Structures are given as C-alpha cells and as structure tokens.
Amino acid sequence: MDWLGGQGMRFSVAELESAAALVHGQMSPTPQYHWPGLSAATGAEVWVKHENHAPTGAFKVRGGITFMDWLRREHPDSPGICTATRGNHGQSQARAATAAGLRALVYVPQGNSVEKNAAMRGYGAELVEFGEDFDTAKVEAMRVAGAEGLSVVPPFHRELVRGVATYGYELFSALKDLDTVYVPIGCGSGICGTILARDAFGLKTEVVGVVSDRAQTAKLSYEAGAMVETNSARTFADGMAVRVPVKEAFDIYGRGAARIVSVSEEEIADAMRLYYTATHNLAEGAGAAPLAALMQERERMAGKKVGVILSGGNIDMGWFRTVLEGGVPAV
C-alpha cells in the first residue's frame, strides 16, 4: 500500500473538483446551514456543515468512495481490504468495498459501539473485536492484512484524504468569508482535508482542531512540534479516541492549524444537547466537539463568522439518552 507523507500533500482546486464529481456520483453534497439558536448561544454567526446528513451518517463515507476508486484502478487484483476503526471509517470502507465486490475485514476494539458495529456488518463488514483500544486494533489489522494478502486501508492516505476534503471543498465554495472553522481530530483526515481545501482556494480562514481532554495526542504533538503518544484515550467521543498520532496527518495540521483546543466530556455533552434543542440534529461526541470548542471560545469568536463541522451523528441510543437526561456517558 502506498503512503505519502503529509509534508508533500497538496490538492489543486481541479483535483478537488474531480474528487467531488466522484463523490457526488454516490451522494448529494451535504448542506451548510446558519442556525440562529447556535448564534444566540455563542455570540458568533454559526454555520454548521452537516456531515451527519451523509450516507452512513458521517463524513468518512467520502474517503471510502475515492479510496476504493483508487484501489480498483491501481490494485485491480486485490481480493479485499483490511482496516481498523471505531465505526465511521469502517462503515465507509465496508460500504465501498462491498459495492466493489471485495472482502471487507474490519477490526474494532473490544467494547466498541454496539450500533456502529451493527451498521458496519450491515454494510458487509467481517467484524473482529480485538484489543482494548483503537490503536491496538490497528496494529492487529495491519498484521492480519499482510498475512491474508489484503490491501491495508490506513487511517491516512492521499486518496482517502482527497475524498474527505470534498466537504471542505463544498463548504468553502459556498462560504469563502468564514473567519474560523472548528474541526474534530481523531487520526486527522478531517482536519487535514479542511486545511488542504482551504489552501487550494487560497483563503485566510483559520482552521482550529478539537480534541477530547482525555485523548490529547494531536494537541500535545501540535504544541511540542513533535509526535507525542498518550497512555490512554478513554472518551465517549469515540471518533477522537486515539492514543498514537499519525505522522502524515501531523505534518499537515502541525503547520496548517491555527491552534488545537481540548474540550471536556461535560462540554461535549452540553454541545450535543445544544445541537438537539437549537437544531434538532443528532450529533455524536466527536461531531459535537467543534461546537463545544466554539462555546469555550465564545468571547474570542464574538461577532465572527464561524463554521463548525458536525462530522457525524452515530451514537448509541443508551449514551444519547444519558446525554439528554443531563449526564455524561461512562466509558
């Protein structure tokens, strides 16, 4: 499997246009809406990029479309793919691989989201639970892929990121005057796609990364200027539950992000409730984290035009019930 370091990754507007054409062959562009209730709560003019409206309910579906197109062209004899996930990436890859007639072997950590697991199986994944967290499952997935002759789908790859960047292409095509965009960070494809789309358009919009204060590897790495692993990443915002930074992603957000903000479990839950009451949209933990960061920085952002990426809406019903009752899901 080809890898490309983030320092060498650039996209032209034409490359993003071609990726968008491919993606839009399977899904409609997601909307970006201005919500007065969110503006009233934060003091900013808030625009939400609704990746929760995408097929699979999350932005990752875009990368599955472009990655699978690349794989079928460059490795036509591949019998299938193997990857690791907490859920949204796995749904994307299983959906794309199954549609292409390929095997989709997907590793998740033990105790992973029941409903995300069911969704991945629904898209055709052979699901294996292994290890205590995503990073442990990822190591095993890479080993098994080699042993079984399957194509590795890493968490970061140029063709995967090019697909993910199409949400940034849509957002910046519609709103070229955003002061700031807040983006959650797990392995980093989302923030990197946003940065690369901004750079392709030559815009001055600041891109702010958001992590859980219980999974701070990206923030610590950004601030140290070097890769920093953490000992754990136990957050109910499972899309951000990463211990080990991805160098290719760090090479991009390390130079392209304005800053990285950490938010608490309580702040994420508050943002989920605000999304529901102000917009009646369901946001999973990682999807709500950008709004949580904006709420934390409301004084700094007062009066500005701000985008927040609602990256996904896939959360188990039991956890969401806990949130709506005013609590924080325990992990």
Q: What's residue 179's pLDDT?
A: 98
CA 67, CA 70: separation in Å to the nearest integer?
5
Residue range(s) occupied by CATH 3.40.50.1100 in the chain: 10-58+158-324, 61-152
pTM of the shown model: 0.95
- What was the pLDDT predicted at 258? 98
Picking from 290, 217, 282, the residue whose alpha carbon sits closest to that of residue 254 is 217
Would you write out the chain's pLDDT as a tens digit for each of its 331 residues? 333 344 569 999 999 999 999 999 999 999 999 999 999 999 999 999 999 999 999 999 999 999 999 999 999 999 999 999 999 999 999 999 999 999 999 999 999 999 999 999 999 999 999 999 999 999 999 999 999 999 999 989 999 999 999 999 999 999 999 999 999 999 999 999 999 999 999 999 999 999 999 999 999 999 999 999 999 999 999 999 999 999 999 999 999 999 999 999 999 999 999 999 999 999 999 999 999 999 999 999 999 999 999 999 999 999 999 999 999 999 9
What's residue 3's pLDDT? 35
Nearest to 58 by CA among 295, 323, 284: 284
CA gap 223, 118 in Å, rounded: 37
H runs (alpha helix) in the chain: 13-24, 36-42, 61-74, 88-99, 114-122, 134-148, 158-174, 189-201, 217-224, 247-256, 265-279, 285-296, 298-301, 317-324
Residue among 127, 89, 88, 91 at smallest CA distance from 110:
127
Residue 227 has a pLDDT of 96
CATH 1.10.3720.10 fits 61-152, yes or no: no
Query: How do strand 32-34 and strand 45-50 relate by DSSP bridges?
Result: antiparallel
Tokens representing 16?
Answer: 């993003």
CATH of domain 10-58+158-324: 3.40.50.1100
Compute the distance between CA of residue 123 and CA of residue 105 in angstroms, rounded to an integer.
Answer: 11
Note whether 283 and 237 are within 8 A (CB).
no
List C-alpha distances in Å: 280 to 50, 272, 276, 318: 12, 10, 4, 18
